[in-house]
Structure 1
Amino acid sequence: MPGTIRMTPEKRRALDLVYSARTPGELSDAYSAWANEYDRETAVLGYGLPFLIGAWVARYVTRGNGPILDAGCGTGLSGPYLKALGYDHIEGLDMSADMLRIAAARNVYEALKEAGLGGRLPWADGHFSAFLSTGVFTEGHAPASSLEELTRITRKGGHAIFTVRDTVLETGGFRAMFDRLEKARRWRPIEESPPFRAFTVGEPEVQVQAFVFEVL
């Protein structure tokens, strides 16, 4: 594609290590190695998901109605923009201590916890008014089963707002999990976006969809 920016071999290697990780430990190590250059290198490619997700949060989540969770917050790119939109109680979760160190330096998260999605999360039932997660449900990353636990820690009437990579939507069991939680009366669907590019400049094949559910 004329004019499309592609990663250099070094940058491509960082992304390949992330996508090729086969265990939580390998994934955490890959992100730790990438942490210091992550923001700059993804910005060059036009990575917009951490900023765009705020549009859905602003559409559905009432400000001042309790804490919201940035699940898989990474270096905290979403945090300052959520703060600018008037969300004053933001907590973050990520599996990489090095990523969380950078997120903490942004001084917008009230709490940051190191843990991986897919297991039990360190919050009580209904703790959050909403959770958001972007760029996390993709190849080699958090499983669809993570949504059960994220829904548990979100209060009734709250919202689940997240993106899913097109390549794992069916094969990763996300559609099946959506249906399972709906049939169990755990949530109901509110919005599903059409597929769109995660990177506005490079990597045109990386397509995602955004989803919004109301927790019941």
Structure 2
Amino acid sequence: MSTIKMSNMLQQAVALHQQGKLDAAEALYLQVLQSQPEHFDALQLLGVIAKQRGDAVLAVTRLREAIAIDAQQAIAHGNLGAALQDLGLPEEALLSYDRALQLKPDYAMAWNNRGNTLRSIGKLVAALHNYDKALRLNPRYTEALLNRGIALQEMEEHQQALQDFDEALTLTPQDAAIHFARALSLQCLRLYEDAIAGYEDVLHLQSEHIQALCNLGICLQKIQQFPAAVDSFAQAIKIKPDYVKAHLQYGNTLRQMGQKAAAITAYQTASSHSKDGTELAHINYALAALGVMDTPAMSPPTYIADLFDQYASHFDGHLLEVLHYQIPTLLSKAISKHVKAGPGNYLDLGCGTGLCGAYLRPTASKLTGIDLSEKMLGQATKTGWYDELHCAEISDWLQGQDQDFDLIMAADVFVYIGALDTVFAAASHVMRAGAVLGFSVEVTNESADYILRPSQRYAHSYAYLQRLADSHGFKIAEVKQEVARQDKDEDVPAYILVMIKT
């Protein structure tokens, strides 16, 4: 084949490639290779096609063949980095991007893609620096704006993320991915009406965007537009019948509407489609709360962590302003009558954002907090009340301690633990005689030791608590029934208990 003919064939292949006609372009690239097996451009572009088709292994092979022919072409190293990232090899991908940028420092796409790789391994600050470099080289680089916004979103810097998304939309107003990312940040900021409008924009562009449909349903659920939420989840399920998240949220909404039988069916359908152990544990917990399965001894730790990670940024306001939460005040007042005078070693179990820290800090020589939610602990850190904060399951953490505590406080923590023997045994082990254990539980007057309510919170009987005290070396110094909070405008009764270690 003559050089002119080969050049024309390559140009034709590139044109077809740009039009998205991958099969036709591939056929011409292969013809070029038949005549010239070491043709860099044909090999490199065949690698690109393989990546576009999702065959990252073939893409890496083709791109490495091209690089073996000419290692000085930045584009091949950049594309190889992207293919290695697709294979889940981020460190190798970074090396390829670094080589591409050594050859071409102003390669904006390589900076952007390098940022994506860093973001995939949780190096968000470094990812932002890479996106910034890409945008300095090309301020109108829509993809880099979107990716920088997503990195900021993952850092929970949603207001800054929105600035990037808005700028990206001025450049590409019909991009569904940008609209979706923007709506997600609005949802995280609890600007549900604006988020709903954003998800509707996504669906106007892509009517079968199931994530947008599901998130739209969640936002509608948050503002108590339950029938509309149910409809949104149903649409997502119609498009993807095995979409577990939609079935689970469908069940949650039906449960909130008081449609127990329908909620059970939705949860059971979610369970039938799920293959993820953690997800199944959450679904089974929801079914147990509706009485379908045996009551577990405690909530799944991942359920608690996920629940409170979602609440962390607005937890205090929601509890105090919406639910009229009283437990820290009531429990601290009860404890103050029994704790020994003078500074002591205090432990706040399930410390959350640190609502109890303000009560405990003034008389604590050392104050330690334990919680399962990393994001709640992040909020607790900001208070400055705590000497130590640990992310751990409380029984496991207590069993590993060799110190003695003068006071252990558990405000609204045992509502996520049904069987309390392990916790009481572990607490007793780290408390000296005269030490105080103060906690709250929701009240049940049933004969069972504990029940799991449809709210997915446990309630305990007083007889059970008395037995726990007797079994683990405590005496009950004070018990009162109080209103802990409100749920659906109804008072939720709780026991406020103070026990002394004997």
Q: TM-score range by the shorter chain?
A: 0.7 to 0.9
Of 359, 379, 382, the residue aligned with 1:102 is 379
Secondary structure at the aligned position of 1:135 is classed as coil
Residue 450 of structure 2 is aligned to residue 171 of structure 1:
yes
* Equivalent-residue separation in structure 2 for 1:120 and 1:11 (angstroms): 38
Contact 1:51 1:77 in 2 (8 A): no
Question: Residues 136-193 of structure 1: CA distance to partner in whole angstroms, max 9, x if unpaired?
Answer: 111x446412122122111111111111111398325664353144145x11121111
Contact 2:343 2:365 in 1 (8 A): no
Of 134, 158, 165, the residue aligned with 2:411 is 134
Question: Residues 7-50 of structure 1: CA distance to partner in whole angstroms, max 9, x if unpaired?
Answer: x942888xx89x95941112111111111111111111211112
* Equivalent-residue separation in structure 1 for 2:374 and 2:489 (angstroms): 27
User: 1:211 is aligned with what amino acid?
Assistant: L
Partner of 2:434 in structure 1?
A: 157
Partner of 2:347 in structure 1?
A: 69
User: 1:59 is aligned with what amino acid?
Assistant: K
Partner of 1:10 in structure 2?
A: 222
Secondary structure at the aligned position of 1:199 is classed as strand
Greater strand fraction, Structure 1 or Structure 2: 1
Contact 1:198 1:207 in 2 (8 A): yes
| TM-score, normalised with respect to structure 1 | 0.80
Residue 358 of structure 2 is aligned to residue 80 of structure 1:
yes
Q: Structure 1 residue 90: deviation in Å?
A: 1.7
Q: Structure 1 residue 133: deviation in Å?
A: 0.8
Q: Structure 1 residue 120: deviation in Å?
A: 4.7
Of 464, 474, 488, the residue aligned with 1:187 is 474
User: 1:144 is aligned with what amino acid?
Assistant: L
Contact 2:312 2:353 in 1 (8 A): yes
Partner of 2:499 in structure 1?
A: 213
Secondary structure at the aligned position of 1:60 is classed as coil
* Equivalent-residue separation in structure 1 for 2:468 and 2:364 (angstroms): 31
Which stretch shows the higher mean deviation, 101-110 or 44-53? 44-53
Partner of 1:5 in structure 2?
A: none
Residue 302 of structure 2 is aligned to residue 25 of structure 1:
yes
* Equivalent-residue separation in structure 1 for 2:375 and 2:355 (angstroms): 14
* Equivalent-residue separation in structure 2 for 1:113 and 1:27 (angstroms): 15
Secondary structure at the aligned position of 1:164 is classed as strand
| TM-score, normalised with respect to structure 2 | 0.36
Structure 2: gaps spanning 5 or more residues:
1-219, 225-251, 257-281, 290-298, 452-459
User: 2:464 is aligned with what amino acid?
Assistant: A
* Equivalent-residue separation in structure 1 for 2:482 and 2:338 (angstroms): 20
Contact 1:67 1:128 in 2 (8 A): yes
- Greater relative contact order (Cα < 8 A, sep 6+): 1
* Cα distance, 1:183–1:28 mapped onto 2, change above 3 Å: closer
What RMSD in Å do the two structures reach over aligned CA positions?
A: 2.9
Structure 1: gaps spanning 5 or more residues:
1-7
Partner of 2:391 in structure 1?
A: 114
* Cα distance, 1:9–1:63 mapped onto 2, change above 3 Å: farther
* Equivalent-residue separation in structure 1 for 2:348 and 2:324 (angstroms): 21
